Structure formats: structure tokens, C-alpha cells
Amino acid sequence: MAKEIEARTYEEALAWLRDHGFDVTDAPGTNGRVFLRKYNVSAAIQKAPDDGVKIFAYPGYLIGSEISKLVNRGYQQFLKTSKNEVPATADHLKALHTFAEELKVALGLPSLYNESLGTVSEAYQYDRIVDRDKPAVDRPKRPWEVAGKEAAIAAKKGRA
């Protein structure tokens, strides 16, 4: 049976976050937007027009002073910022997962089964399917398409 979730107002959410150990910092130059920090993970929320809460910047592990984005490459998850990319460790993922679950409780958002099993990435980039979602004419040429039929035949003869 589905559990009823009680949505919180912006002020109620901020009070819950402060009471549960989150560092809440007003975003400079804006009204009704705050940065949250706990476990070296950060996110930003803002006040919605209906006095609700909207997530402005999704949770990411802090690398320097920048919120990283979790990227899944199939074989490894990475924390990516505008300047660099580092492999995500088990400690990084645990901190992200704990932060995200507590944030959902604070904002009155549902906790989905697949997200409760572990950390979910914002992007999944598997090397074998890069650009497959684009139309065929917009996809970059593969090495075997660039080399041409003759090169493929020559390579095949060389292996035989």
C-alpha cells in the first residue's frame, strides 16, 4: 500500500534541515534560494511560487568549492566538475546517498525503490552507445566507416 507523503512548505523544509545538521547558506544575490551542505555534499533549493520547495541544484559531492555531477560510465562512476573528473569512491557514494535520502525527507519528496538501493547518477555514458540517440546523419563516423571498405578488406587479409 502506498504511503501518503506530506509536502512541506519552504519555511518548514528550512527548519527541518537546520534541525538535522544541514548547513544552510543564503545564495548571494537571490531571494528564496539557499545552498545546503552536509557530509561534504551540497545542493541548492529555492522557494516555489506556491510556497513549496524546488531543487535548484541536485546533490553533488563538493570538490573544492564546486558541486560535482555524478556520471556513470558503466565500469566506474565519476565525480565531474567544470575543471576535472575524479573516480567516485565508496565513501563519496555513501555520502551522496545519505544526503539525497535526508533531503527527500526534508522536502517531503517520495523515496523511490531504485534510488533507495544506492546512489543514482544524473547521466549514464556508456562508451559503446555514445551518439546512438542522434539521427544517423548527425552521428560522427566510426573508424571503420572513415577508413573505407578497402582498408577493412586489407586488415582482414592481414589477420588471415
What digits encode the pLDDT tens for the residues 20-47? 888 888 888 778 888 889 999 988 888 8
Q: Please state the domain count of the chain.
A: 1
CB 10 within 8 A of CB 34: no
Residue 154 lies in a domain: no
Least confident of 68-72, 119-123, 155-159: 119-123
The label of the residue with cell 535526508 reads 102
Residue 118's pLDDT is 58
Q: For the chain, how many residues are written?
A: 160
Residue 97 lies in a domain: yes
What digits encode the pLDDT tens for the residues 53-94? 888 888 889 988 888 888 887 778 888 888 888 998 989 988
Residues 6 or more apart whose Cβ sits within 8 Å of residue 54:
45, 46, 47, 48
Instruction: Quote the domain boundaries for residue 100.
Output: 10-133
Residue 1's pLDDT is 42
- pTM score, two decimals? 0.66
